[in-house]
Amino acid sequence: MKINVIDLFAGCGGLTDGFLQTEKFKTLAAVDWEFPTVQTLKSRLTNKWGYKTDEHILHFDIQRTEELLQGYTDSKFGESKGLINLVGNNNVDLIIGGPPCQAYSIAGRVRDKNGMKDDYRNFLFESYVKVVNHFKPKAFVFENVEGILSAMPGDIPILERIKESFNEIGYEISDDLKNNAVFDTSYYNVPQKRKRIIIFGVKKSESSRKQIEDFYSMMLNQKSTNPTLSSIAFENLPKLIPIKNQKKLSHSLQEPMNIGVKNHEPRFHSERDIEIFRTLTTDIKQGINKYSNSKALIELYKEKTGKDSNFHKYNVIREDKPSNTIPAHLYKDGLRHIHPDPEQSRTITVREAARIQSFDDDFEFLGSRGDQYKMIGNAVPPKFAKQIAEIVIEIMRDIK
């Protein structure tokens, strides 16, 4: 018997894909409000996992929770009979997902003049809580950025609000999320330093506290001794080499594309940027390390562009380390994710970003290239999700 799951704020399906890889879960429904991510998830469920219909995926705004549950007809989102009808007589055993993280991220708070305190996304967790309250699953998995630990919209810690909200509907979570619930995915088979909070909650019972403690203890035991290096993300991909005097194309394939590998087209780069990328990657490759500090990178940016900046713009992914975090911001530019090979002198492709996020090569991303970068940056790495799922399976055996 498979464990029935609903995925909220599903995005393109990183969490769902990891759970399905265990072959122990069944996705009853997944919800997201961005069209390209919904189309990508529909494609994945039907082409990879053999779902016979795309009705399992709801394209809708979860803030309109009552309509999401009961059904809706909408000019933007179309028509649906709603989650309740879709679930039917099935028991919902587990709810997974995480509200958009921009309102909790430290980077987002730095950029926003009010520190994101007025951002509506601070309270999207309330919709998550409402769905949990309706279906009463045995447990839930709530994923978010590390910055949620310090977020204080309305000058009240957001984690206090979240804990109280789940407590009111009869669910328990850890009292010490700061020490228990922060995970660096590079120690969980993902070639990327990406710190995330995993809140595991269960229905209150005599054994609920132990179940939560067991979850975090097992997650800690799964942690590898050494991080996963970024070099694996670039293996067996054809090189994309700079070409001159092209107005729409700056790089071309050196060899035929591997069969089955999609989304591996380069961005267009100016000759100036190609020169900068070659300078930076050669500096690392030859062990010169002239540009190993922020000051030197800021000076290089000023020298090459004539513009001032308080922050360095460039980062070369080091093959001997995990990649830096893949963000949604990657859809704007890739300057902080420069390919390590001087011969290629470019930023990473969608496929390379997906590999750094641990997506399989047969996972196809739809929409514009910008859409694809954005959904990858917002996703939960599937290999990390799979490790969470395997532990959830063990814990749920003991939940009545």
Q: For residue 319, what pLDDT is reported?
A: 97
Q: Which tokens is 104 given?
A: 């909790």
What is the per-residue DSSP string for 370-391? Answer: HHHHHHHHHSPPHHHHHHHHHH
Predicted TM-score (pTM) of the model is 0.93
Q: Are strands 195-203 and 139-145 parallel, antiparallel or unpaired?
A: antiparallel
Which burial class, exposed, middle or buried, applies to 347 when counting CB atoms under 10 A from its CB (0-12, 13-18, 19+)? Answer: buried
pLDDT at 55: 83
Q: d(Cα 282, Cα 304) in Å, to the nearest integer?
A: 17
The CA–CA distances, whole Å, from 214 to 66, 140, 202, 382 equal: 34, 15, 12, 22
Is 101 catalytic? The answer is yes
Q: Rounded distance, CA 361 to CA 110, Å?
A: 35
Q: Using the structure block, give the residue that is written with the tokens 């930076």.
A: 280
Identify the residue whose tokens are 């035929």: 256
Q: Where are the beta strands (DSSP E) in the chain?
A: 3-8, 25-32, 57-59, 72-74, 78-80, 94-97, 139-145, 171-172, 182-184, 195-203, 240-242, 251-253
DSSP 5-69: EEEES-TTSHHHHHHHHTT-EEEEEEEES-HHHHHHHHHHHHHTS--S-GGGEEES-TTSHHHHH
Residue 145 has φ and ψ, to the nearest 5°, of -80, 160
> Residue 11 and residue 380: Cα distance in Å, rounded?
9
How far is 60 from 246, CA to CA, in rounded Å? 42
The CA-based angle 87-62-331, given to 5 degrees, is: 120
Domain annotation for the chain: domains and CATH numbers: 3-228+381-396 (3.40.50.150), 230-377 (3.90.120)
pLDDT along the chain (400 residues), means of 10: 96 98 98 96 96 89 95 95 96 93 47 45 81 98 92 83 95 96 98 97 97 98 98 94 85 74 93 96 97 94 91 95 96 96 98 98 97 97 98 92
Predicted local confidence at residue 259, as pLDDT: 61
Catalytic entry in 12, 38, 101, 151: 101
- pLDDT attached to residue 89: 96
